[in-house]
Amino acid sequence: MKTQVAIIGAGPSGLLLGQLLARSGIANVVIEQRSADYVLGRIRAGVLEQTTVDLLEQAGVAARLHAEGLPHDGVELCFGGQRHRIDLLGLTGKRVVVYGQTEVTRDLMDARQAAGLPTVYEADEVTVHGFDSATPHVGWLKDGVRHTLQADFIAGCDGFHGVCRASVPPGAITLHEKVYPFGWLGVLADVPPVSHELIYVHHERGFALCSQRSKVRSRYYVQCALDEQVAQWSDDAFWAELKRRLPDDTAAQLVTGPSIEKSIAPLRSFVAEPLRFGTLFLVGDAGHIVPPTGAKGLNLAASDVGYLWQGLRGHYAGHPAELDHYASRALARIWKAERFSWWMTSLMHQFPDAGSFGHKMQRAELDYLVGSTAAMTALAENYVGLPMV
Q: Which is catalytic among the residues 12, 180, 193, 200?
A: 200
CA quadruple 72, 73, 75, 81: dihedral positive or negative? negative
Give Cα 191 to chain centroid, integer Å.
Answer: 24
Whether 180 sits among the annotated catalytic residues: the reply is no
What are the φ/ψ torsions at residue 354 (nearest 5 degrees)?
-70, -35
Q: Phi then psi for 30, rounded to 5 degrees?
A: -100, 130
Give the whole-angstrom CA distance, residue 246 versus residue 235: 17
DSSP letter (8 states) at residue 52:
H
- Angle at CA of residue 58, ends 55 and 63, nearest 5°: 95
Give the span between the Cα atoms of 86 and 14, in whole angstroms: 33
User: Strand, coil or helix: what is 349?
Assistant: coil
Residue 221 and residue 99: Cα distance in Å, rounded? 17
Instruction: In whole angstroms, give the CA distance from residue 192 to residue 255.
Output: 7
CB neighbour list of residue 48: distance below 8 Å, 6 or more residues apart: 56, 65, 69, 96, 97, 98, 99, 104, 298, 299
Q: Which of 12, 72, 316, 349 is catalytic?
A: 72
Q: Which of 7, 64, 10 is nearest to 36 (CA)?
A: 10
296 tagged catalytic: yes
Active site residue 200: yes
Pick the catalytic residue from 99, 202, 292, 316. Answer: 292
**Known catalytic residue at 266:** no
| Catalytic pick among 203, 288, 296, 315 | 296
Active site (catalytic) residues: 72, 200, 292, 296, 383
